Chain A
Amino acid sequence: MSADATPVRKPSAVWAFALVPIALLGVLIAYLVITGGGLRELSGPPVEQVKVTRVTLPSEGLVRLQVVNDGPQSVTISQVLVDDAFWAFTASPSTNVPRFGRVTIDVPYPWVEGDAHHLQLLSSIGTVFKAEIPVAQRTPQPNRDLFWQFGLVGLYVGLIPIALGMLWYPWMRHLNANAINFILSLTVGLLIFLAIGTWLDALEFAAELPAFWQGVPAVALVALLSFGVLLALGTRRNGEEPSPLGVSTRIAVGIGLHNLGEGLAIGAAFALGEAALGTFLILGFTLHNITEGVGIAAPLVKKNPGWRAFVLLALIAGGPAIFGTWLGGFAFNPVLATVFLAVGVGAIAQVVWEVGGMVVRASRHAGLPNATWLNLAGVTAGVVIMYVTAFLVKF
């Protein structure tokens, strides 16, 4: 044993071993940067890439573009076209956008409310980057009235339906074991629907991000990571069953993140002039989201945690819709939106796992197989309810 032992060295010498590859790497990088590494002939023509991350209409006769350079080299925006016409503009800090840099371009253009407008940026080598204003409408400026109104929208589509759904709780408590299992399965079904919806939303936001964010893989990885972390947090050491309130809380968190994304989308749509929520749309959302309240309450039927817990759960699940609407309307950030939604996917997937486990255990207690027809019917019912009510909010 002792014959095989590695000679003892001073810690400093050991660290030197670790630093050798890093030092050599530095030499290699310096060599490549300074000499081109004998690869100069391989360098091709310039590749220009910028992304218009946001278009706003802050006032009458003004179009504002946020531009991010997500290409490999700096880009100069030499000219701006609006609706196939060259147009005067100012760029701050400069028309030159370095790699990873961002520039704000103001175009004094008489945009027309309700019309669509097309924007093009012409680079110094003639590359064209496009953006559009689907429906021109003044970008809302933060003020007290609008703040209040956005809050109301979030309240209507998030908090209220969840609270209403929870009002089935007293009735649910009088159901027999089979019916409760059915409702838990139904919760799994509706959560699966929400997970898919949130996933698709996250991908849509991700697709709009500058390329260097690597939006789509980031969504998958963030979702996976949050799933893993929540799973680790939810695991009980002694194999004891998770507390009903704990499960409900995690369902509420998952739904909350989903609703935050929903609020972001609503707020951003307002801000971009892309949507105007009619009363009937709000009605649709309320109906669609009422099942979320059922899902949160379902694990609690055996043990009443008290009305305070319900209020808290409703706030956790529904409150983020209000927050999201504000964020989306006043300070839209596509990167944050994508991350929130990706976390939401992981969170919802985790509670699907957890509630699914409850259903399976309940079935075993009753001496039934893991997947009974009743369970399957519950899951299907959950998905179908979400699917059918979604007709009201899909156009």
Chain B
Amino acid sequence: MSWWQRLLNRRDLLKVGAGASAALVGAAALAQRTPNATRTADGHPIDHGGHGGNRMIGTVDHTKNGFDPLQLLTDWDYGKVSRLPNGQTLREYTFIAQEKDIEIAPGVTFPAWTYNGRVPGPTIRCTEGDRLRVRLINQSRHPHTIHFHGVHPWEMDGVPGAGAGEIPPGGSTVYEFDAEPFGCHLYHCHATSLKRHIHKGMYGAFIIDPEQGRPPAREFVMMQNAFDTNFDGGNEVYAVNTIGFEYARRPIPVQKGELVRLYLINILEFDLINSFHLHGNMFDYYDHGTTLTPTSRIVDTTMQAQGQRGIVEFRYKYTGQFMFHPHISEFTELGWMGMFNVVEPKDFPRALQDVGLNDTWNERALNGFAAKQKGSAT
């Protein structure tokens, strides 16, 4: 009489029998138990930011990973800068395709395919009209490419069958083109199979500044990404800049009243859309970053489909810890959630210190555009 398994999904039946079960439940002793862990391993109270038990256990070893999401926020890569005979600025980059196991959530490793051993890859930052020369060296066991968004000749498109096509293991190629138009773009591998090459981690931000620049601001790059750890065509861990909940564990310091600018890019695979929602504030949004005036004003949520991006600008009126996350609850609870730690200017050094940051980070955040005008090479 294998009746019992049939009962599993029979909610109606269960309600009929509810009288009996209620009696049983009522009779059950109340052995109340409180969760014993109230603090994370690194000492943060678990309830900070109001996300309660929705969190990961432990911390990620950023040193072993070779990159720290807080550093990634401001890690502009201007390339090796020189001047061409025609007066044009030349920026040269070397990208090495490498396979690397990275820790994407505390204790969870992912066999990533990377540019230069990090996910996302380097944030290319240049000015409209610059000449870009990007060498790709493939040191992995699979063919790869770099496909840049923006305007460029067909041979430089970085797709199979165009120009050098897919670069085989051990091979290399050079992509060279002028940076246009200005905006918040991205690059990614376009080798087949496309989905796998993207979700494995081969992508990065490609910021082309307008010649006249943008108003001074504290600037951050945020790549909305996710990882399919069991390769079933659905993501397990969601994040911005790779590590789930990292900015909830270590809130990003900003000052009250200052202009904050986010270069927001959605490089999600397997899910059609992603979104960005800011707490305690409204923002202006520049779709694709290709305009100097906002394409939507005073909104607190914006949506991006796969490969879509834009610039988010806001100022905080109040101090405090304000969440940001996609208004897709599922992604939020799966790791794509962080916090801005908004403080008075006088409290800023302390806020930096609290999350292991220093003045260099602050400088980079404030001078993303200005720094490269000096032609500095990092």
A-to-B contact residues, CB < 8 Å: 58-62, 76, 78-81, 84-90, 95, 106-110, 114, 122-128, 134-135, 137-138, 140-141, 143, 145-146, 149, 197, 200-201, 204, 262, 265-266, 268-270, 274-281, 288, 390, 393-395
**CB-based nearest B residue for A261:** B1
A sample of 9 more A-B contacts (CB under 8 A), given A61-B33, A126-B108, A275-B4, is A88-B53, A88-B55, A122-B108, A122-B229, A126-B230, A127-B230, A137-B21, A265-B2, A266-B4
Contact residue among B3, B20, B36, B229 (Cβ-Cβ distance under 8 Å from A126):
B229
In the bound complex, do residue B7 and residue A86 qualify as a contact, i.e. CB atoms below 8 Å apart?
no
In the bound complex, do residue B1 and residue A201 qualify as a contact, i.e. CB atoms below 8 Å apart?
yes
In the bound complex, do residue A95 and residue B107 qualify as a contact, i.e. CB atoms below 8 Å apart?
yes
Task: Report whether over half of chain B's contact residues are helix, strand or loop; otherwise say mixed.
Answer: loop
CB-defined contacts of B107 to chain A, threshold 8 Å: 76, 78-79, 95, 124
In the bound complex, do residue A122 and residue B236 qualify as a contact, i.e. CB atoms below 8 Å apart?
yes
> Chain B nearest CB: distance from A181 CB in Å?
27
CB-defined contacts of A87 to chain B, threshold 8 Å: 53-55
In the bound complex, do residue A138 and residue B17 qualify as a contact, i.e. CB atoms below 8 Å apart?
no
In the bound complex, do residue A265 and residue B4 qualify as a contact, i.e. CB atoms below 8 Å apart?
yes
Q: Does B259 contact A (CB under 8 A)?
A: no
Complex CA gap A128/B1 in Å reads 33
CB-defined contacts of A125 to chain B, threshold 8 Å: 108-109, 229
Complex CA gap A280/B20 in Å reads 11
CB-defined contacts of A126 to chain B, threshold 8 Å: 108-110, 227, 229-230, 236
Q: Does B189 contact A (CB under 8 A)?
A: no
Query: Which of B8-16, B117-125, B169-177 contacts the other chain?
Result: B8-16
- Kindly count the residue-residue contacts between A and B in the assembled complex, taking CB atoms under 8 Å apart: 171
Given A126-B109, A126-B227, A143-B29: A278 in contact with B20 (beta carbons within 8 A): yes
CB-defined contacts of A393 to chain B, threshold 8 Å: 1, 3
Q: Does B5 contact A (CB under 8 A)?
A: yes
Subset of 8 A-B contacts with CB under 8 Å: A85-B334, A88-B37, A88-B57, A108-B53, A138-B25, A140-B24, A265-B2, A268-B4
In the bound complex, do residue B229 and residue A146 qualify as a contact, i.e. CB atoms below 8 Å apart?
no
Contact residue among A122, A134, A143, A266 (Cβ-Cβ distance under 8 Å from B28):
A143
Complex CA gap A197/B6 in Å reads 14
CB-defined contacts of B30 to chain A, threshold 8 Å: 59
CB-defined contacts of B5 to chain A, threshold 8 Å: 204
Q: Does B23 contact A (CB under 8 A)?
A: yes
Which residues 328-371 of B sit at the A interface, judged by CB distance below 8 A? 330, 333-335
Q: Does B27 contact A (CB under 8 A)?
A: yes
Q: Does B298 contact A (CB under 8 A)?
A: no
In the bound complex, do residue B23 and residue A128 qualify as a contact, i.e. CB atoms below 8 Å apart?
no
**CB-based nearest A residue for B8:** A134
Complex CA gap A268/B5 in Å reads 11
In the bound complex, do residue B2 and residue A200 qualify as a contact, i.e. CB atoms below 8 Å apart?
yes
Complex CA gap A141/B25 in Å reads 9
* Interface residues as binary, B50-68 with A (CB distance below 8 Å gives 1, 0 otherwise): 0001111110000000000
